Amino acid sequence: MVYYKTEDQIDFLRNSSLLVCKTLALVGTLVKPGVTTLELDRIAEEFIRDNSAVPGFKGLYGCPSTLLTSVNSQVVHGLPSSTQLKDGDIVSIDCGVLMNDFYGDVAYTFEVGEVEDNIRELLKTTKECLKLGIDAAVAGNRIGDIGFAIQNHAESHGYGVVRELVGHGLGKKLHEAPEVPNYGRRGAGMLLKECLVIAIEPMINLKSRAVKQLEDGWTIATLDGLCSAHYEHNVVVRKGRAEILSDHSIIEEALNKNRI
Protein backbone atom coordinates (compact mmCIF):
# COMPACT_ATOMS: atom_id res chain seq x y z
CA MET A 1 0.00 0.00 0.00
CA VAL A 2 1.41 3.37 -1.07
CA TYR A 3 0.51 6.29 1.21
CA TYR A 4 0.48 9.80 -0.24
CA LYS A 5 0.98 12.48 2.37
CA THR A 6 -0.98 15.63 3.23
CA GLU A 7 0.94 18.91 3.49
CA ASP A 8 0.61 18.76 7.28
CA GLN A 9 2.13 15.29 7.31
CA ILE A 10 4.92 16.49 5.04
CA ASP A 11 5.69 19.24 7.58
CA PHE A 12 6.04 16.58 10.30
CA LEU A 13 8.31 14.53 8.05
CA ARG A 14 10.40 17.62 7.30
CA ASN A 15 10.86 18.36 11.00
CA SER A 16 11.92 14.77 11.69
CA SER A 17 14.31 14.79 8.73
CA LEU A 18 15.90 18.05 9.86
CA LEU A 19 16.42 16.71 13.37
CA VAL A 20 18.30 13.75 11.88
CA CYS A 21 20.51 16.19 9.96
CA LYS A 22 21.22 18.16 13.13
CA THR A 23 22.12 14.90 14.87
CA LEU A 24 24.48 13.94 12.04
CA ALA A 25 25.99 17.43 12.13
CA LEU A 26 26.77 17.00 15.82
CA VAL A 27 28.32 13.54 15.56
CA GLY A 28 30.06 14.47 12.30
CA THR A 29 32.08 17.16 14.08
CA LEU A 30 33.28 14.47 16.49
CA VAL A 31 34.44 12.05 13.78
CA LYS A 32 38.23 11.94 14.04
CA PRO A 33 41.02 9.41 14.56
CA GLY A 34 40.72 7.75 17.96
CA VAL A 35 36.98 8.16 18.46
CA THR A 36 34.77 5.08 18.63
CA THR A 37 31.42 4.70 16.92
CA LEU A 38 29.96 3.61 20.27
CA GLU A 39 30.79 7.08 21.62
CA LEU A 40 29.06 8.67 18.63
CA ASP A 41 26.02 6.45 19.16
CA ARG A 42 25.67 7.50 22.80
CA ILE A 43 25.91 11.20 21.94
CA ALA A 44 23.38 10.85 19.11
CA GLU A 45 20.80 9.14 21.32
CA GLU A 46 21.16 11.76 24.02
CA PHE A 47 20.78 14.60 21.50
CA ILE A 48 17.68 13.08 19.89
CA ARG A 49 15.96 12.52 23.24
CA ASP A 50 16.89 16.04 24.37
CA ASN A 51 14.99 17.29 21.31
CA SER A 52 11.73 15.56 22.26
CA ALA A 53 12.13 12.68 19.81
CA VAL A 54 13.17 9.04 20.04
CA PRO A 55 15.79 7.15 18.03
CA GLY A 56 14.08 5.73 14.96
CA PHE A 57 16.27 2.65 14.58
CA LYS A 58 16.81 1.50 18.16
CA GLY A 59 14.59 -1.48 18.88
CA LEU A 60 13.19 -1.60 15.34
CA TYR A 61 13.71 -5.07 13.84
CA GLY A 62 15.84 -5.72 16.93
CA CYS A 63 18.36 -2.98 16.10
CA PRO A 64 20.51 -2.37 19.22
CA SER A 65 21.68 1.16 18.39
CA THR A 66 20.64 4.69 17.52
CA LEU A 67 23.16 4.97 14.67
CA LEU A 68 24.26 2.51 12.05
CA THR A 69 27.95 3.15 11.45
CA SER A 70 29.59 1.50 8.45
CA VAL A 71 33.36 1.85 8.16
CA ASN A 72 35.33 1.53 4.90
CA SER A 73 34.21 -1.71 3.20
CA GLN A 74 31.02 -1.84 5.26
CA VAL A 75 28.18 -0.67 3.01
CA VAL A 76 25.31 -0.23 5.48
CA HIS A 77 23.91 -1.47 8.80
CA GLY A 78 27.26 -1.50 10.59
CA LEU A 79 26.79 -1.71 14.37
CA PRO A 80 28.60 0.80 16.60
CA SER A 81 31.64 -0.71 18.30
CA SER A 82 34.58 0.08 20.58
CA THR A 83 37.02 -0.01 17.63
CA GLN A 84 38.68 3.37 17.18
CA LEU A 85 38.39 5.16 13.85
CA LYS A 86 41.72 5.66 12.08
CA ASP A 87 43.17 8.37 9.87
CA GLY A 88 42.14 7.68 6.27
CA ASP A 89 38.94 5.80 7.17
CA ILE A 90 35.50 6.71 5.94
CA VAL A 91 32.37 6.06 7.99
CA SER A 92 28.83 6.11 6.68
CA ILE A 93 26.47 7.13 9.48
CA ASP A 94 22.79 6.34 9.01
CA CYS A 95 20.35 7.78 11.55
CA GLY A 96 16.61 7.84 12.06
CA VAL A 97 14.28 9.64 14.44
CA LEU A 98 10.62 9.29 15.28
CA MET A 99 8.96 12.57 16.24
CA ASN A 100 5.25 13.42 16.23
CA ASP A 101 4.57 9.92 14.83
CA PHE A 102 6.67 10.49 11.67
CA TYR A 103 10.13 9.28 10.76
CA GLY A 104 13.19 10.99 9.39
CA ASP A 105 15.94 8.83 7.87
CA VAL A 106 19.19 10.36 6.60
CA ALA A 107 22.72 9.09 5.90
CA TYR A 108 26.04 10.80 5.26
CA THR A 109 29.55 9.43 4.71
CA PHE A 110 32.26 11.19 6.71
CA GLU A 111 36.01 11.36 6.13
CA VAL A 112 38.27 10.52 9.06
CA GLY A 113 41.38 12.68 8.87
CA GLU A 114 43.12 12.61 5.48
CA VAL A 115 41.42 10.33 2.96
CA GLU A 116 43.00 9.08 -0.27
CA ASP A 117 42.04 10.88 -3.47
CA ASN A 118 40.32 7.86 -5.04
CA ILE A 119 38.10 7.49 -1.97
CA ARG A 120 37.28 11.17 -1.97
CA GLU A 121 36.27 10.84 -5.62
CA LEU A 122 33.96 7.94 -4.70
CA LEU A 123 32.25 10.14 -2.11
CA LYS A 124 31.89 13.00 -4.59
CA THR A 125 30.37 10.75 -7.25
CA THR A 126 27.97 9.14 -4.78
CA LYS A 127 26.71 12.59 -3.79
CA GLU A 128 26.22 13.36 -7.49
CA CYS A 129 24.29 10.10 -7.87
CA LEU A 130 21.98 11.19 -5.06
CA LYS A 131 21.36 14.55 -6.71
CA LEU A 132 20.61 12.95 -10.08
CA GLY A 133 18.23 10.48 -8.46
CA ILE A 134 16.40 13.33 -6.73
CA ASP A 135 16.21 15.28 -10.00
CA ALA A 136 14.32 12.31 -11.49
CA ALA A 137 11.83 12.11 -8.59
CA VAL A 138 9.15 14.25 -10.20
CA ALA A 139 5.48 13.60 -10.87
CA GLY A 140 4.98 11.81 -14.18
CA ASN A 141 8.29 9.94 -14.03
CA ARG A 142 8.60 6.37 -12.83
CA ILE A 143 10.61 4.63 -10.11
CA GLY A 144 12.93 3.25 -12.78
CA ASP A 145 13.91 6.77 -13.82
CA ILE A 146 15.41 7.37 -10.36
CA GLY A 147 17.38 4.13 -10.41
CA PHE A 148 18.54 4.66 -13.99
CA ALA A 149 19.92 8.12 -13.19
CA ILE A 150 21.88 6.79 -10.22
CA GLN A 151 23.13 3.64 -11.92
CA ASN A 152 24.14 5.37 -15.14
CA HIS A 153 26.26 7.98 -13.35
CA ALA A 154 27.92 5.52 -10.96
CA GLU A 155 28.76 2.94 -13.59
CA SER A 156 30.09 5.59 -15.98
CA HIS A 157 32.79 6.18 -13.33
CA GLY A 158 33.53 2.47 -12.99
CA TYR A 159 31.76 2.02 -9.65
CA GLY A 160 29.43 -0.76 -8.54
CA VAL A 161 25.81 -0.10 -7.57
CA VAL A 162 24.53 -2.24 -4.70
CA ARG A 163 21.30 -3.99 -5.67
CA GLU A 164 20.41 -5.96 -2.56
CA LEU A 165 19.43 -2.82 -0.59
CA VAL A 166 17.15 -0.05 -1.76
CA GLY A 167 15.52 3.24 -0.84
CA HIS A 168 11.92 3.27 0.35
CA GLY A 169 8.77 5.16 1.15
CA LEU A 170 8.79 7.10 4.42
CA GLY A 171 6.03 8.10 6.80
CA LYS A 172 4.56 6.72 10.02
CA LYS A 173 6.65 3.64 9.28
CA LEU A 174 10.36 3.83 8.60
CA HIS A 175 10.00 1.57 5.58
CA GLU A 176 6.89 2.04 3.48
CA ALA A 177 6.07 1.18 -0.11
CA PRO A 178 7.42 1.68 -2.69
CA GLU A 179 10.94 0.29 -2.83
CA VAL A 180 13.32 2.72 -4.59
CA PRO A 181 16.22 0.79 -6.19
CA ASN A 182 19.45 2.52 -7.15
CA TYR A 183 19.38 0.81 -10.54
CA GLY A 184 16.70 0.46 -13.19
CA ARG A 185 15.36 1.22 -16.63
CA ARG A 186 13.91 4.49 -17.83
CA GLY A 187 10.14 4.45 -17.90
CA ALA A 188 9.87 1.27 -15.79
CA GLY A 189 8.17 0.76 -12.45
CA MET A 190 5.52 2.61 -10.50
CA LEU A 191 4.32 5.99 -11.72
CA LEU A 192 5.45 8.80 -9.41
CA LYS A 193 2.64 11.02 -8.13
CA GLU A 194 2.65 14.21 -6.11
CA CYS A 195 3.04 14.00 -2.32
CA LEU A 196 4.77 10.64 -2.31
CA VAL A 197 7.59 10.82 0.25
CA ILE A 198 10.58 8.58 -0.38
CA ALA A 199 14.10 8.05 0.96
CA ILE A 200 16.61 7.98 -1.89
CA GLU A 201 19.90 6.44 -0.77
CA PRO A 202 22.55 5.37 -3.28
CA MET A 203 25.03 2.82 -1.94
CA ILE A 204 27.99 2.88 -4.31
CA ASN A 205 31.04 0.57 -4.16
CA LEU A 206 34.53 1.46 -5.33
CA LYS A 207 34.56 -1.49 -7.74
CA SER A 208 32.36 -4.59 -7.63
CA ARG A 209 28.70 -4.28 -6.66
CA ALA A 210 28.81 -7.65 -4.88
CA VAL A 211 28.14 -7.64 -1.14
CA LYS A 212 27.95 -10.06 1.78
CA GLN A 213 26.39 -10.08 5.24
CA LEU A 214 28.79 -10.32 8.18
CA GLU A 215 28.41 -12.72 11.09
CA ASP A 216 26.73 -10.13 13.32
CA GLY A 217 23.61 -10.55 11.18
CA TRP A 218 23.44 -6.81 10.48
CA THR A 219 26.47 -5.45 8.68
CA ILE A 220 26.52 -5.56 4.89
CA ALA A 221 30.04 -5.29 3.41
CA THR A 222 31.61 -5.31 -0.04
CA LEU A 223 32.67 -8.76 -1.18
CA ASP A 224 36.01 -7.46 -2.50
CA GLY A 225 36.87 -5.60 0.71
CA LEU A 226 37.03 -2.20 -1.00
CA CYS A 227 35.30 0.95 0.24
CA SER A 228 31.65 1.87 -0.19
CA ALA A 229 29.84 5.21 0.18
CA HIS A 230 26.26 5.96 1.21
CA TYR A 231 24.24 9.19 1.23
CA GLU A 232 20.50 9.57 1.83
CA HIS A 233 17.87 12.28 1.51
CA ASN A 234 14.14 12.35 2.26
CA VAL A 235 12.25 13.67 -0.75
CA VAL A 236 8.70 14.68 -1.73
CA VAL A 237 7.62 14.03 -5.30
CA ARG A 238 6.34 17.27 -6.79
CA LYS A 239 5.50 18.56 -10.26
CA GLY A 240 8.56 19.80 -12.10
CA ARG A 241 11.03 19.53 -9.22
CA ALA A 242 11.33 17.27 -6.18
CA GLU A 243 11.33 18.85 -2.74
CA ILE A 244 14.11 17.75 -0.38
CA LEU A 245 12.97 17.57 3.23
CA SER A 246 16.38 16.80 4.72
CA ASP A 247 19.34 19.17 4.48
CA HIS A 248 22.93 18.00 4.14
CA SER A 249 24.12 21.61 4.24
CA ILE A 250 23.47 21.56 8.01
CA ILE A 251 26.04 18.77 8.26
CA GLU A 252 28.52 20.34 5.85
CA GLU A 253 28.38 23.77 7.51
CA ALA A 254 29.10 22.17 10.88
CA LEU A 255 32.04 20.25 9.39
CA ASN A 256 33.44 23.40 7.79
CA LYS A 257 33.20 25.37 11.06
CA ASN A 258 34.90 22.50 12.85
CA ARG A 259 37.88 22.70 10.44
CA ILE A 260 38.51 26.39 11.12
pLDDT digits (tens, 9 = 90+) for 111-158: 999 999 999 999 999 999 999 999 999 999 999 999 999 999 999 999
The number of angstroms, rounded, from the C-alpha of 166 to the middle of its chain's C-alpha atoms is 10
pLDDT number for residue 14 = 98
The residues that bridge with 74 in the sheet, in sequence order, are: 221
Pick from 114, 110, 82: nearest CA to 94? 110
Q: In the chain, at which residue ranges do the beta strands (DSSP E only) sit?
A: 54-55, 67-71, 74-76, 90-99, 102-111, 160-161, 167-169, 176-180, 197-200, 203-205, 211-213, 220-222, 228-230, 233-236, 243-244
Domain boundaries, the chain: 7-259
State which residues of the chain have pLDDT below 70. 260
User: Is the CB of residue 197 less than 8 Å from the CB of residue 235?
Assistant: yes
The number of angstroms, rounded, from the C-alpha of 121 to the middle of its chain's C-alpha atoms is 18
**How many CB atoms within 10 Å of residue 59?**
12
Residue range 7-259, CATH number: 3.90.230.10
Pick from 59, 58, 47: nearest CA to 20? 47
The mean pLDDT value of the chain amounts to: 98
pLDDT number for residue 260 = 66
pLDDT number for residue 258 = 86
User: Is the CB of residue 189 less than 8 Å from the CB of residue 182?
Assistant: no
User: Is the CB of residue 63 less than 8 Å from the CB of residue 57?
Assistant: yes
User: Is the CB of residue 96 less than 8 Å from the CB of residue 103?
Assistant: yes
- How far is Cα 235 from Cα 173, in angstroms, rounded to an integer? 15
Pick from 62, 25, 70: nearest CA to 44? 25
Output b/e per residue, 61-86; b: 16+ Cβ within 10 A: eebebbbbbbbbbbbbbbbbeeeebe
